Each structure stands twice: as C-alpha cells, then as structure tokens.
Amino acid sequence: MSIEVFINGQYYPKAEAKVSVYDHGLLYGDGVFEGMRSYSGKVFRHDEHIDRLYDSARSILLEIPMEKEALKQAVNDTLKKNNLVDAYIRLLVTRGAGELGLDPAKTEDPRIIIITDHIKLYPQELYDNGLKIITAATIRNHPAALSPRIKSLNYLNNIMAKIEGIQAGCAEALMLNHKGEVAECTGDNIFIVRGGALYTPPIDAGILEGITRNAVIELAEKAGIQVHQIPFTRYDIYVAEECFLTGSAAEVIPVIEVDTRSIGDGKVGPITKQLYKAFHELVRS
C-alpha cells in the first residue's frame, strides 16, 4: 500500500513528500508536533491533541495557518486517503523555509504535515510479560530553559536518553528532572502502584501532560482506584508493587524491572492488567 502524505493541502506519495532544506524545522528543530492514534477510523481524543498542538505553537509564537476544525478534517481525510482505520498519526507544523539564522521572522509559509501509517513500538511479548528499563544519566531539560509541555520538534534530549537505554539492552529509559525526581521515560509517562493506589509525577515535575496519561487517570478513578499526582524518586519505583508506561504510540505497557531491580514479583500486576484492558475497551467503544 502506498502511503500519501499531506503537506499544506496537497498529497504526495511517501517517497516524494519533501520540505525545503531551508525549513527551520529541519535546520533548528523549530516547530511542534502531535502523535495520535485512530481506532476503528476514529481519532482518539482528537480535540485534546489538536488543542495541545495549538497551545504548543502559541507558546513559541508559531501561527498555524489553518483553523482547528479544518485541521481535524484534514487528519480524518488523510486517514481515508490511505484507507486506514487503525493507525498512528504524526501531525507536524514547522516554522517554514527561510534564510539561514535563528530569526523566525526570516521564514514564511509554515508547513503542516500529516503522516498516517502503522507503528509498533514494542512486540506483543513485552505487553504480555513487561519491559525492563534503566535510568538514563541524561536528565529532562530544565523547565526554565524549555517548558516540557511544549511538544517541539527538537527531541535530542529524549534521543540521547533513548540511546543510553538501547546500549544497556533496554527498549526504554527513565529520565529524572533537575531535582533528581522521576519525570518520565523518553517517550512515555510513568505510573507506579503502591498499596493499591496509583502514583504518577505531577505536571510540574518536568513532564509532558500526556493524553493517554490523562485517559488512564480517568479510567483508574472511575474504577475506584485512588490516583496521586505527587513527586517521587527512584526509591519509590524500586519498592513499588507495579509499574507501567503510557503514551499514544505505546498505549499502556507494563514494566517489570528498573535498574536491574524487579518490580514487585517481577510479573505484570493486576492493576496494570486491569487498566490495560480498560484502556483498550475505551478506545474501541
């Protein structure tokens, strides 16, 4: 199947979908993006993703040359164009092409790019049996330097931590914030279970406020599971009964080992299984 990519109102075959080498998104990582999922032809939490994209753009003074509803329709149209119902969607807005130099005023025509395709971050075996992760030496960017709530095109911070995980034989890596507190993993939010309650770092711990994270919090509260959004350290993970990660691409995936320490009994826990099942029921409802 040939994938068609949307760029500023036109469709291009995957191999021909290009932007200028002078685009500031390429030159300087100047732009924003969202990663979304569609299930049975419907984009999950579409409004929340679009709102977050526009918030990210507004915070960096990037004007998206399209109204929200029109952009949502373009996403849906791109899914249909590629005959996709269960898919991963990468929606990007770059600053556009311009002259060399950091000045955004020297650019014009921001690029809106919509990619719809399939993604499989982890094999099913890891969803069944759990991930092993390590803590990266690379920390999250200081929030005073760049807000972690901006989903920008510059992901080098996360990529360096990801490389550490891969070199340690792990598919994912945990990142701490500048205070030494648990923040998130390179592409996912993190949860632990202690005493039957759910714990996850708060927004001010230097994390991205994940759409899937918020959905899981809602599901837990609906099921009568207490949820605490409070700072914690690696110690709290080491002594936790369960641990799992959430993200649009990863969905909900269990973690059974952190820094060579088994979490709980080293098996996927009951609350993780419960929320994994509830999430998949939610996205299919």
Both 106 and 134 in one domain: the answer is: no
- Is 259 found in the same domain as 131? yes
Place of tokens 């119902």: 85
Give the three-class secondary structure for 273: helix
CA distance 76 to 87: 11
Where in the sequence is the domain holding 193, given as residue range(s)?
Answer: 124-284
Q: At 133, which helix (H) or strand (E)? A: strand 131-135
Torsion angle of C-alpha atoms 106, 112, 118, 121, degrees rounded to 10: 40
Question: Of 117, 136, 156, which closes a domain?
Answer: 117
69 and 108 inside one domain: yes
Q: What is the CATH number of the domain that holds 26?
A: 3.30.470.10
User: Is the domain of 164 the same as that of 228?
Assistant: yes
| Residues 202, 147 share a domain | yes
Same domain, 58 and 186: no
Task: Looking at the structure, tell me whether residues 109 and 178 fall in a common domain.
Answer: no
Cβ neighbours around 185 below 10 Å, total: 27
In tens, the pLDDT along 29-75 reads: 999 999 999 999 999 999 999 999 999 999 999 999 999 999 999 99
**This prediction's pTM:** 0.95
Could you tell me if 214 and 166 lie in one domain? yes
Same domain, 35 and 58: yes
Q: Are residues 214 and 136 in the same domain?
A: yes
110 shares a domain with 171 = no
Task: Specify whether 185 is located in the same domain as 270.
Answer: yes
Here the CATH number for the domain that contains residue 168 is 3.20.10.10
Label residue 121 by pLDDT band (50, 70, 90). Answer: confident
Tens of pLDDT along 66-116?
A: 999 999 999 999 999 999 999 999 999 999 999 999 999 999 999 999 999
Catalytic residue among 81, 151, 222, 277: 151
For residue 80, indicate whether it is catalytic: no
Task: Please tell me the total count of domains within the chain.
Answer: 2
Task: Say how far apart CA 267 and CA 7 lie, in whole Å.
Answer: 45
